[in-house]
Amino acid sequence: MRKQLTLLAASIVVSLLATGCAKTQQKLGRGLSNTAEIVRWGELRRTQEQTAVFEGTDSAATGFVKGVARTLGRTGIGIYEVVTCPFPPYGPVATDTFAPGPVYPDNYTPGLRSDSLYDTDTYIGFSGGDIAPRLMGSRFTIFDSMQ
């Protein structure tokens, strides 16, 4: 009995390692991102903005209600994808209603934060400036194309 359990466990591990997990990771990541929508409120902000633009500013209350409904729907899809991430199909769910990735309002484009993780050249002394600022006519600068 002990040998059979060991053989079964070894075969399960080999089968998991042989099949790969790239699509499982994508589905889990998409599910976690969609689950975090309840905290991020991107769907709410976008729906309010789109309602105000296309239906007028008088429809702000309906935009809020639609946004809350879409946020809860995206969160539910995220929970579903997290729970079912080991099982196929691995493609996005409900793509006719929701975009697969996170949404943002059109007036906001996210970018990288300005901290030491992304702006490392500033913290080690390569921030640009004149090569020889005390010499007359020194106009050559480091990183001239970035300024």
> pLDDT, tens digit, for every residue of 83-128?
998 888 888 988 888 988 888 888 887 777 766 666 666 556 555 5
60 and 38 inside one domain: yes
Say if residues 35 and 82 touch (Cβ distance below 8 Å). yes
117 and 56 inside one domain: no
93 and 134 inside one domain: no
126 and 98 inside one domain: no
Q: How many domains is the chain built from?
A: 2
36 and 54 inside one domain: yes
89 and 121 inside one domain: no
With a threshold of 0.75, does the pTM exceed it? Answer: no
50 and 120 inside one domain: no
Structural domain that includes position 122: 113-147
99 and 122 inside one domain: no
101 and 129 inside one domain: no
Residue 81's nearest CA partner among 66, 95, 67, 96 is: 95
39 and 77 inside one domain: yes
Tens digit of each residue's pLDDT (9 = 90 or more) over 123-133: 565 555 555 66
